[in-house]
Amino acid sequence: MAMISPSRRVRRTPFSDGVEAAGVKGYTVYNRMLLPTVFESVEADYHHLKKAVQVWDVACERQVELRGPDAGRLMQMLTPRDLRGMLPGQCYYVPIVDETGGMLNDPVAVKLAEDRWWISIADSDLLLWVKGIANGYRLDVLVDEPDVSPLAVQGPKSDDLMARVFGDRVRDVRFFRFGMFTFEGRDLAIARSGYSKQGGFEIYVEGGDIGMPLWNALKAAGEDLDVRAGCPNLIERIEGGLLSYGNDMTDDNTPHECGLGRFCNTHTAIGCIGRDALLRVAKEGPVQQIRAIDISGDRVPGCDRVWPCYADGQRVGQVTSAAWSPDFQTNVAIGMVRLSHWAEGTRLEVETPDGMRPATVREKFWA
């Protein structure tokens, strides 16, 4: 791959100076912002993530803030997940759909108060959809992107590191809940969440000016824990079945195709813009769905485009993320497979840039 050219349009983050000092070797662009992809090597980062603790610059998880009397109503218009039971202090993973039921994003909604929400977005300008809906329906709500940049702390030693900086109370934060904690006199929301299966937190850093002080404080506090700069790890997130919007799903897909039916309450999510479109698929199920796929043979190359999957010469699906897993000694992959071929153990052929590879549909992800 080629180099990425400097441009203000590809935004730096409050933590970019720290990321560069830590020797970042690769980036992607996510929400028009730099997102590190590799420090030592993808495999070395992976082993370290599973045994120690990493600090991740995920400022590219931009926030869409909803404020005002209609904030809750607007939030429910965006998603087929029923939000009526959600309390301030909770985080919900919410599929966001358009009027056809197509996925526009798969963010985490953070309920700060009855009339104030953050939507911590995946890679699409969800702000524009939310602003358009708020304007078109003349809702009484302010919608904008605040100066909030998430910093993730991930890995089995996350609790120990976080407790040293924020106090032992942070250990009590439950999964997909958040609490308010103070750093340098500023109140920050800290949630137990993150884009790995190794445990950890996401700190919603409000105000870019405290980005590097917080980065440095975490680094200094965790030297004996072997804390390092890290980033979402391709291998680990495929093993864990963590989907990537734009890779594993697009606006062509319904939440049910993405295996996110358990986050949809289509019948009771009254007001959701995509509800009508999703009622049938919610009842009858999708004709294709996300699956874990085991690809045989040596290490596959980087998956930078769709890899078609075949059975008996017919196209029956596609792989969209793949990587060699050192722990499972196979190529782990995520793909979308048609109903006729998605049962556990079904043999497929995957067309990779290196040629056809035998592959097997799995029932579950690896970790």
Residues engaged in binding its own copies (CB under 8 A)? 1-10, 12, 24-30, 32, 37-38, 98-99, 104, 123-126, 128-137, 244-247, 273, 301-306, 320-321
CB of 125 to its own copies, least distance (A): 4
CB neighbourhood size of 160 (10 A):
16
Interatomic CA distance for residues 64 and 59, integer angstroms: 13
CB of 282 to its own copies, least distance (A): 20
Q: Nearer Cβ to its own copies, position 130 or 189? A: 130
Q: Nearer Cβ to its own copies, position 158 or 247? A: 247
DSSP assigned state of 40: S
Half-sphere exposure of 331 (CA within 13 A, CB side): 24
CB of 86 to its own copies, least distance (A): 23
Q: Nearer Cβ to its own copies, position 149 or 158? A: 149
Which residues lie closer than 8 Å to 82 by C-beta, 6 or more apart?
76, 265, 268, 269
Helix (H, G, I), strand (E, B) or coil at 249: strand
Interatomic CA distance for residues 334 and 342, integer angstroms: 12
Q: Nearer Cβ to its own copies, position 9 or 283? A: 9
CB of 3 to its own copies, least distance (A): 5
145 is known to lie in a ligand binding site: no
CB–CB of 96/107 below 8 Å?
yes
CB of 248 to its own copies, least distance (A): 8
CB–CB of 84/143 below 8 Å?
no
Sign of CA dihedral 277, 282, 285, 289: positive
Interatomic CA distance for residues 190 and 203, integer angstroms: 4
Q: Nearer Cβ to its own copies, position 30 or 204? A: 30
CB of 20 to its own copies, least distance (A): 9
Max CA-CA distance within the chain?
64
CB of 55 to its own copies, least distance (A): 18
Interatomic CA distance for residues 299 and 280, integer angstroms: 40
Q: Nearer Cβ to its own copies, position 14 or 200? A: 14
Name which of 299, 301, 305, 298 is nearest 335 in CA terms: 305
Q: Nearer Cβ to its own copies, position 131 or 186? A: 131
Name which of 148, 254, 141, 256 is nearest 202 in CA terms: 148
CB neighbourhood size of 242 (10 A):
18
Cite the annotated binding site by residue number: 202
Cite the annotated binding site for substrate by residue number: 202
